[in-house]
Amino acid sequence: MRVLGLLSISTVIIGLFPSTSAWAGVNDAEFLMNAEGLATFDTAAGTPMEDLNSPAPIKSYSANLIRKIQQGLADQGFFLGAIDGRFGPKTASAIRAYQKSADLFIDGIPTPQLSLDLETGGKVGVLLKRLKKSRDRATKSARESLLSRPETRNLIQGTNDLAKAPRNAKLCMENPEPRCLLLEASISAGNIEKSEMRDWALGEILTSQAKAGLAVDALSTTRRIHDPRLIMVALRDIAKAQVSSGDSESALAAVDIIPDLEQQVEAYVAIAEIQANLGQIDAAAKTSSHLIQYVRRIKSPLTKITFRTRVAVIVYKAGFKKLALQHIQSANDLIRSIRSNKDRDEGMRYIAGAYAETGNPKKAMDVLKHVKNGADDVPVLIAAATGLAQAGSSDEALITAESIEAVRYRALVLARIAAYQAGAGDIKSARKTLDKSLAAAKTIRFPFAKAYAFSRIALALNDVSISNGEDQKMLEESLNTTALIKDERLKAHIFWTIADQRRNTTDISGSELAKQKALSATDDIKSPFSRVWMLCDIAEERAQRKEIDSAWSLFNEALLEAKSISHPWGRARALSKVASTMTILADHSGKIPARP
């Protein structure tokens, strides 16, 4: 059910937009914003002069070291004197100004570490300037592309119609529906000061408007986005929202108005992938066949190989194994037209990955032997190890997994192999593999990578426990592994997932144990926004499994939390999220229940 009614295809094409995960460049924009803010630090603003001008201990320093530090300070705008290698009050004052800006201990002392920090910071500054120029060029190009066609010109022209929309905030909070929640989110987004952050929030509002069928509102929101590249991405991803809701005709029509060729192909591939995942075999094959005419028009052989191999995986999942091999062969034929050794190796990796994902993991490894080894081999090794495990060749899968040098990926693959071993009834081997995975995860340096690895291992342990007749000891190991997760939101999410999985296998006591831990972990999440997002995610997962009542129950908790958020950035995103979840739950249940 579409919450606010069906729209005409032409309206849908203009008004419905993508999931926020596809908004390329948003995180980069946030990074640029923060880094540029640091690069333009004004040493004269709010800096106590007694802190900056107090003399540093006078002693002999290497002229070469002082020269490097002076140059680094000058590059970042902290030092205006001569680069002469002499340490004096001006250099000491500049060092103190830099230390204060970087939240370092302020002592004005020149050290080799300070020199290294300044050199690194200088390189980052140069990179950011280059990225900004590149971004500006891309923004201008995207705007020109959109203005070149009448179908897309009105997406960046016109007025903000939402500003005139009737609004009763109190009534909406008492008896919310998607449109009024999104109107409140839109108002909050308008109060976000930084344009990059505002565009991010507006992108998520667009997502929710698309799911709710609010084409006119979506068009108005689009006009508020400053970066036209985001609109280009939106047009490319309209298809995802439409085909996921069963409207392939509108999805394909949306692709036709995208002014960029590669974006068009990307959209067709996305449609075909979704159709294959939904079991729409014939539709996926038809879409894959149709998009090849667009792939042929692409000039870059490497880009053609990228799309050809992705199509191969799609048609393989749709059951057309011979056709999949033909696409891989077509990709292979393009290799000889690539002159760059680096691009040729990259193309071979795509081909190896396609073999791995189409039931030929050994062929994938053969192809990889002819490619220069490196970190870029990891996706192929992951796919190959997974394919070998699926095929029952667990010993070969383990050997392949052990060849992955990056421990964060090796831990994930081992957990995946263990799940296949358990599914095949080999609980003993699954247990050993999980021990290896856990040992690897504990050595991961990056905090979130470690947390994510623990989450996958915890879920695998729970799967093995269920496969082994609801083994309670292994359930305890699963819960203990979840407790190792440092990311609060991810930890709570995994506890909720385990609780739901145990309930679905009628292990009521195990489910209740996990649920209590889930409730405690949810309370530990410091950010109200993070709690909203996590509760909505769990509610959506329950709705997918047709657990409608329990889904609405969690949604109501998320809604109450969202209402309490007052900061414009958090409020806009939280209300957008609950509106999106409400639409999904209404689609699955056929109605929006009255709020308690």
* pLDDT tens readout for residues 46-58: 333 334 444 445 5
pLDDT over 50 (residue 27)? no
**Higher pLDDT pick, 289 / 159:** 289
pLDDT digits (tens, 9 = 90+) for 379-397: 888 888 888 888 888 898 9
What's the chain's average pLDDT? 79
CB–CB of 76/125 below 8 Å? yes
Sign of the CA dihedral with 73 first, then 78, 84, and 85 last:
negative
Residue 36 located in a structural domain: yes
**How far is residue 235's CA from residue 240's CA, in Å, rounded to a whole number?**
10
- Kindly state whether residue 439 falls inside one of the protein's structural domains: no
Asked, for residue 41, whether it belongs to a domain, the answer is yes
- Cα(264)–Cα(150) distance, integer angstroms: 17
The arithmetic mean of pLDDT across residues 411-429, rounded, is 90
Q: Give the closest residue to 351 by CA, choosing from 325, 390, 314, 382.
A: 325
DSSP conformation letters of 216-252 = HHHHHHHTT-S-HHHHHHHHHHHHHHHHHTT-HHHHH
Higher pLDDT, 478 or 136: 478
Distance of CA 46 to the CA centre of its chain: 38
Separation of alpha carbons 206 and 20, rounded Å? 8
| pLDDT at 40 > cutoff 50 | no
pLDDT at 228 > cutoff 60: yes
Give mean pLDDT, residues 407-422: 91
**Residue-level pLDDT at 31:** 26
| CATH number reported for the structural domain that contains residue 132 in this entry | 1.10.101.10
Number of domains in the chain: 1
d(CA 210, CA 28): 24
518 pLDDT exceeds 90? yes
pLDDT above 70 (res 204):
yes
Q: What share of the chain is helix, strand, coil (3-state, %, to 5)?
A: 75, 0, 25
* Beta-carbon count within 10 A of 353 CB: 24
Q: Using 50, 70 and 90 to split pLDDT, how confident is the model at 440?
A: very high
CA torsion sign, 392 to 396 to 402 to 403?
negative
In-domain check, residue 594: no
14 closest CA partner among 190, 258, 224, 228:
258
Sequence-distant (6+) residues with CB within 8 A of 32 are 128, 131, 132, 135, 196
User: What is d(CA 357, CA 274) in angstroms, rounded to the nearest whole number?
Assistant: 16
pLDDT digits (tens, 9 = 90+) for 246-273: 777 777 776 776 767 888 888 888 888 8
Specify the higher pLDDT residue, 6 or 204: 204
Residue 41 CB burial class (10 angstroms; 0-12, 13-18, ≥19)? middle
Residue 103 lies in a domain: yes
d(CA 311, CA 179): 37
Give a yes or no: residue 117 inside a domain: yes
Angle at 167 between CA 165 and CA 168, to 5 degrees: 170
* Residues 175 and 550 sit within 8 Å (Cβ to Cβ): no
pLDDT tops 80 at residue 92: yes
Categorize the per-residue pLDDT at 172 as very low, low, confident or very high, splitting at 50, 70 and 90.
confident
b or e along 85-118 (b: 16 or more beta carbons within 10 Å of the residue's beta carbon)?
Answer: bebeebbbbbbbbbbbbeeeebebbbeeebbebb
Residue 184 has pLDDT above 90, yes or no: yes
* Predicted pLDDT at 413: 92
> Quick check: 314 and 288 in contact, CB under 8 A?
yes
* Cα separation, 511 vs 497, whole angstroms: 10
Residue 524 neighbours by CB under 8 Å, 6+ apart: 488, 491, 492
User: Cα dihedral sign for 541, 547, 549, 553?
Assistant: negative
Give Cβ neighbours of residue 270 (< 8 Å, ≥ 6 apart). Answer: 236, 237, 239, 240
- Confidence check: pLDDT of 155 > 70: no
Report how far apart the first and last C-alpha atoms of the chain are (Å, whole number).
23
Q: Indicate the pLDDT class of residue 565, thresholds 50, 70 and 90.
A: very high
Model confidence at 460: pLDDT above 80: yes
With a cut of 80, say whether residue 547 has pLDDT above it.
yes
Q: Which pLDDT value is given to residue 47?
A: 34
Q: Which domain holds residue 106?
A: 23-151
pLDDT at 1 over 70: no
In a domain, 390, yes or no: no
Confidence (pLDDT) at 481? 95
Does the structure show a pLDDT above 50 at 148?
yes
Task: Please state, in angstroms and rounded to a whole number, the distance separating the CA atoms of residues 580 and 396.
Answer: 44
Q: Which of 411, 359, 400, 397 is nearest to 377 (CA)?
A: 400
pLDDT at 11: 33
Q: Do residues 422 and 456 lie in contact, with contact meaning Cβ atoms separated by under 8 Å?
A: no
**157-174: average pLDDT:** 66
CB atoms within 10 A of CB 426: 17
Task: Determine the pLDDT at residue 175.
Answer: 86
SS3 label, residue 192: coil
126 domain-assigned = yes
What pLDDT, on the 0 to 100 scale, is given for residue 224? 77
Q: Is residue 187 within a helix (H) or strand (E), and if so which, with residue range?
A: helix 178-189
Q: Which residues contact 485 (CB under 8 A, 6 or more apart)?
A: 451, 454, 455, 458, 491, 494
Sign of torsion, CA 545 547 551 554?
Answer: negative
Distance in angstroms (rounded) separating the CA atoms of residues 398 and 473: 25
pTM over 0.85: no
Nearest one of 342, 348, 345 to 328, comparing CA atoms = 348
What pLDDT band is residue 517 in, cutting at 50, 70 and 90? very high
For residue 405, the model assigns a pLDDT of 86
Residue 37 has pLDDT above 90, yes or no: no
> Is 188 a residue whose pLDDT tops 90?
yes
